[in-house]
Amino acid sequence: MSAPVIEIRDLTKVYRMGEVEVRALAGVTLVVERGDFVAIMGPSGSGKSTLMNILGCLDRPTSGSYKLDGVDVSRLDRDGRAEIRNAKIGFVFQSFNLLARTRAVENVELPLLYSDKGLSAPERLRLCREALSRVGLAGREDHYPSQLSGGQQQRVAIARALVTDPAILLADEPTGNLDSRTSEEIIAIFQELNAAGKTVILITHEPDIAAHARRVVYVRDGQIWRDERIVQVPASVGSSAVGEPEPAIAFPFTIATPALEEARR
């Protein structure tokens, strides 16, 4: 078996506010196998955002270890974290974070401009077009964000996250700015990418969104409270990542697990 893509052991994070210490994470241990689809849930103040920042190499822990794709990143300095972040992680954010005056294909190209792969301009263009096609935006490469719907903008953001072929896709509330139908279409893309072998970690506060993952990790008081495998809910059949978005199809069932039921309360 291959090594886990993420391996966290006894992770803590303590913030100091004057003379007061705030323990945001209190001994978190988490292993994510390559090719998994994990949703991380938790209320405000649970430590969920702190964990996400450490997973994304945006911050480092106070103690404990974190291996990302076999590399111990726990003690890397800011430059080291930036290097591993660009090479190993594809980010998808709630607010899309697209450059408004830049075409879709140029937005997707940004991570390649900062990579050390030494790609030529034609090679970068080919990879960008392939990434956009993969999320159903072939033919819209030259559109500006203002010419795209919210769902299409998020598809551009996913293509941008994919273009470097990262070890993981880290999505922070990726459906938070979208309506329910478009949310289903975006989650369907993540499911299809995961089915193709991509590791996906989804940060969400919505149980209905988490139900599309294969595993739900619930964080509370800086610790892993529950960690459960679930029966994956298929997203809308019509929202294929390789074609045009179609109307969402409602499934006449829901998945109930203790973690999700508690989150609904």
The answer to whether 21 and 14 are in contact (CB under 8 A) is yes
| pLDDT of the residue at 167 | 92
52-94 pLDDT tens trace: 999 999 999 999 999 999 999 988 889 999 999 989 999 999 9
- Give the pLDDT score at 120: 93
CB 58 within 8 A of CB 139: no
How far, rounded to the nearest angstrom, does the alpha carbon of residue 103 sit from its chain's CA centroid?
23
Segment 12-44, tens digit of pLDDT: 999 988 889 999 999 999 999 999 999 999 988
Task: Identify the segments of the chain with pLDDT beneath 70.
Answer: 1, 236-265
- Please spell the DSSP secondary structure of 9-59, one letter per residue: EEEEEEEEETTEEEEEEEEEEEEE-TT-EEEEE--TTSSHHHHHHHHTTSS
Task: Compute the Cα dihedral for 23, 28, 34, 40 and give only its sign.
Answer: negative
- Give me the pLDDT at residue 234, please: 82
Domains in the chain, CATH or no CATH each? 34-57+77-264 (3.40.50.300)
How confident is the model at residue 115, as a pLDDT? Answer: 81
Burial code (b: 16+ CB inside 10 Å, e: under 16) for 146-161 equals eebeebbbbbbbbbbb
